[in-house]
Amino acid sequence: MRRSRCCCGIDFFLPPAAETRKGTLSAVSRDVSTVPSSRESSLALTFDDGPDPNGTPKLLASLTRLGARATFFPIAARAAAHPDLIERMLRDGHCVGVHCDQHVRHSERQAGWVRRDTERALSLLRSVGVSPTLWRTPWGEHAPFSADIARHHGLQIIGWTVDTHDWRGDSAETMFASVESGLRDGAVVLAHDGIGPGAGRSSVDQTIALVELVAEHARRTGLALEAL
């Protein structure tokens, strides 16, 4: 199985009250990084909390049909349980970063706990052929020690500029209407190919339908869908 390494790039900032599944991100979580595309006009689709044995294969098939590349931030235990899906992501030209081993906010744990969780996650991902350089922390939230852990492992913390809130279970049309204005050059779109904690849905079907709508928007506006 081949290994994948993703590139690094520039900084951006989330709005002061970026909404998450359980409210708003605290002040410690605002500073995040994203990666510029190699092309001038593009946006990045990113997917957290997978892989899901039912939804992820359908999502990957849709991305292939659309000629799109994306970035995945899997939960490491799920990645280890489904190495075929990780291998398919890499084979199809997608980027695979690291999310976590246990999906817990950094602000709810001490530095030692997060350090051990990150080490376990990286070890599991290496076992399925991935050497990540990009890290999306659980809930997108940081603690004061998060940056030090990232530097120790050569990771760049990645946030987003557009949140689909697909975990709520809204229709693809409703989600697209809420995010369309943010789908511009340089956007980083947060979605989920797994059913994470607090989700109000039982499948990722509407997320896949949303990807179709985003791809059509990208075609109309001259944007490529690229991995980070």
Look up the domain containing 50 and give its range: 33-225
Helices (H), 35-154: 55-66, 76-81, 83-91, 111-127, 146-152
Nearest CA to 68 among 211, 217, 222?
211
Please give the positions annotated as active site: 48, 192
Measuring CA to CA, which residue among 116, 182, 173 is closest to residue 149?
Answer: 116
- How many independent structural domains does the chain possess? 1
The answer to pTM > 0.75 is: yes
21, part of any domain: no
121-171 confidence digits (pLDDT tens): 999 999 999 999 999 999 999 999 999 999 999 999 999 999 999 999 999
49-69 burial: b if 16+ Cβ within 10 Å, else e: bbbbeebbbbbbebbeebebb
CATH of residue 174's domain is 3.20.20.370
Tens-digit pLDDT profile for residues 96-127: 999 999 999 999 999 999 999 999 999 999 99
Q: Considering the domain boundaries, does residue 28 fall inside one?
A: no
13 part of a folded domain: no
Instruction: Report the SS3 class of residue 160.
Output: coil
Could you tell me if residue 22 is inside a domain?
A: no
Q: Are strands 70-73 and 42-48 parallel, antiparallel or unpaired?
A: parallel
Kindly give, in sequence order, each residue whose CB lies less than 8 Å from that of residue 8, ignoring residues fewer than 6 positions away.
Answer: 33, 35, 133, 134, 156
